Amino acid sequence: MRSISLKVTIWSVAALAISLAVFLLIAASVIGKSTIENLTQANQQLFRYALAVYHSDGSTGLSRYMQELNQPGGTQYSICDASGHDLETGEDHSELIRVSVGKERPHRGEHNRLTMGLRSDEGRYIWLATSVGPPAILFAPFYILLLVTVVVLYWLVTMYITRPVRQLASVVDCFGAGELTARANPRSNDEIGNLGRSFNAMAERIHTLLTTERQLLQDVSHELRSPLARLTFEAEMVRKTSDRDAAATRLRHEIERLSELVGTLIDMARAEGDPREVEIEALCLNDILLDTAEDCEVEAQAAGCSIDVIAIEETNLQGNTELLHRAIENVLRNAIRYAPPDSTVEMRLEHEKSWARITVRDYGPGIPEKLRERIFDPFFRADASRDEHTGGLGLGLAIARRAVRVHHGDITAANASPGALVTITLPLHSEVQ
């Protein structure tokens, strides 16, 4: 069966039938026994009173009493002697007495007749009480109506339960067919609602990864076109030019730039890979900032600026040293590129409660308002006039953002008037997951 609704309905009705059968068994063993005992006591009283009438008024009085008891359509009573003959009519009930007297339950005979037989204490008289029970088919319409009602109710309940599952299955089919914007609409907080929200999170992640991958492939193809063209040109120049040393130097420079591009692309892929493969350790952010400033000192001197590190309190967290070092270094190098001569690039570390905040500020031209979010996109340069010879590949801040997000942090940029301010926020008590 492919329908969950049908499965749930069938199993629910089966469970109801089993429960009803168990209930009837218990009722037959408990309630039935109690009912038989009550009937036995009632018949014993009638039996004693009939004997009293018979002994006091004889056959005539007994006949009047039995006629009062034996009303049409009701239970029929008779009193017999030891041989089984009716004291009132003389009819022989010996066979009925044989199958009914001394039994735990009333004897069920033809035409659904139930007979209870009692023997007097001295054994001289026998009491028979015969009733006609209603035929079983009489209740068949009620049983059928009950069964149909239960089936309809269970079907409505299962349809209500499985409707979100069918909707989610439809969304999954659309998503699998390539409609990456398809999302579930969970309205409940139960397991199905949680499943819908989990699917939305997964779909959002897949959509982001695929979109990023497509954009990255487009950017890479665009960025590789220029260095490859120059390599072809330089290779031709090496063959034709007389100054082979200069041509070889330019060729080596182009190869180094291409190698740098490939290396940064690999770093981006690692940063976006499985976070569970990232090596986690206890680290000190103060040490990372000082090491980064030392690594960038030569570049800062070449640009005519200085680096000022402000980190008063020691700040520790769980993370990956290499990823965080690369993120902070890319932000710092980007600030140095735009820092004017004789200025200072300020790098400050603060922490409050469960968050650490790293800010890097330069006193350069700042960032245009409409470009503040785009500077973290791969291959984007805020200054379109800067090419890869003067402004890098446009991947530094993109790598920084990915490294920070691996640590469940965030990175933002703002204008500091003058200059730009980049802020990295990291949780102190959260491990990479």
User: What are the pLDDT digits (tens) for 385-418?
Assistant: 334 444 455 667 877 888 888 888 999 988 888 8
Residue 340: partners with Cβ closer than 8 Å, 6 or more residues away = 305, 363, 364
The three-state secondary structure class of 427 is strand
The answer to whether 432 touches 319, Cβ cutoff 8 Å, is: yes
For 76-181, where are the alpha helices, taking DSSP H only? 94-100, 140-176
Same domain, 283 and 262: no
Using a 10 angstrom Cβ sphere, with 0-12 exposed, 13-18 middle and 19 or more buried, the burial of residue 45 is: exposed
Give the chain's domain count. 3
Question: What is the pLDDT at residue 225?
Answer: 66
The answer to whether 184 touches 165, Cβ cutoff 8 Å, is: no
Question: What is the pLDDT at residue 232?
Answer: 77
Each residue's pLDDT tens digit, 46-63: 999 999 998 898 888 989
CATH code (residue 106): 3.30.450.170
The answer to whether 409 touches 419, Cβ cutoff 8 Å, is: no
Same domain, 129 and 142: no
Taking the C-alpha atoms of residue 275 and residue 266, their distance in angstroms, rounded to an integer, is 15
Same domain, 215 and 354: no
Same domain, 258 and 316: no
- Kindly list the distances between the CA atom of residue 218 and the CA atoms of 215, 224, 259, 353, in Å, as whole numbers in the listed order: 5, 10, 18, 42
Same domain, 186 and 63: no
Same domain, 144 and 252: yes
CATH code (residue 183): 1.10.287.130
In a domain, 432, yes or no: no
For 244-320, where are the alpha helices, taking DSSP H only? 244-271, 285-295, 297-303
In a domain, 182, yes or no: yes
Same domain, 233 and 297: no
The answer to whether 367 touches 356, Cβ cutoff 8 Å, is: no
Q: Categorize the per-residue pLDDT at 181 as very low, low, confident or very high, splitting at 50, 70 and 90.
A: confident
Most confident among 24-33, 116-125, 228-237 (mean pLDDT): 116-125
261 pLDDT above the threshold of 80: no
In a domain, 242, yes or no: yes
Same domain, 171 and 215: yes
- 356: part of which helix (H) or strand (E)? strand 355-361
Of 89, 105, 133, at which residue does a domain stop? Answer: 133
Question: What is the pLDDT at residue 80?
Answer: 93
Each residue's pLDDT tens digit, 272-305: 555 555 678 889 999 999 999 998 888 898 889 9
Residue type present at position 270: R
Each residue's pLDDT tens digit, 98-112: 888 888 777 777 766
Neighbour count for residue 217 (Cβ, 10 Å): 10
Most confident among 79-83, 128-132, 375-379 (mean pLDDT): 79-83
In a domain, 157, yes or no: yes
CATH code (residue 308): 3.30.565.10
In a domain, 401, yes or no: yes
**Mean pLDDT for the chain overall:** 79
Same domain, 244 and 300: no
Q: Of 23, 14, 128, give the one whose Cα is nearest residue 75.
A: 128
Taking the C-alpha atoms of residue 328 and residue 90, their distance in angstroms, rounded to an integer, is 117
Which domain range does residue 11 map to?
Answer: 4-133
In a domain, 204, yes or no: yes
Q: Categorize the per-residue pLDDT at 157 as very low, low, confident or very high, splitting at 50, 70 and 90.
A: confident
1 pLDDT above the threshold of 90: no
The answer to whether 428 touches 354, Cβ cutoff 8 Å, is: yes
In a domain, 257, yes or no: yes
Q: Categorize the per-residue pLDDT at 220 as very low, low, confident or very high, splitting at 50, 70 and 90.
A: low
Of 133, 160, 195, at which residue does a domain stop? Answer: 133
Taking the C-alpha atoms of residue 57 and residue 53, their distance in angstroms, rounded to an integer, is 6
Same domain, 169 and 119: no
Of 256, 272, 288, at which residue does a domain stop? Answer: 272
Same domain, 127 and 154: no
The answer to whether 101 touches 119, Cβ cutoff 8 Å, is: yes
130 pLDDT above the threshold of 70: yes
Same domain, 139 and 268: yes
Taking the C-alpha atoms of residue 104 and residue 115, their distance in angstroms, rounded to an integer, is 12
In a domain, 433, yes or no: no
Each residue's pLDDT tens digit, 65-76: 888 888 887 888
The three-state secondary structure class of 413 is strand
Each residue's pLDDT tens digit, 308-346: 999 888 888 888 888 888 889 889 988 998 899 999 999
Each residue's pLDDT tens digit, 82-93: 899 998 888 998
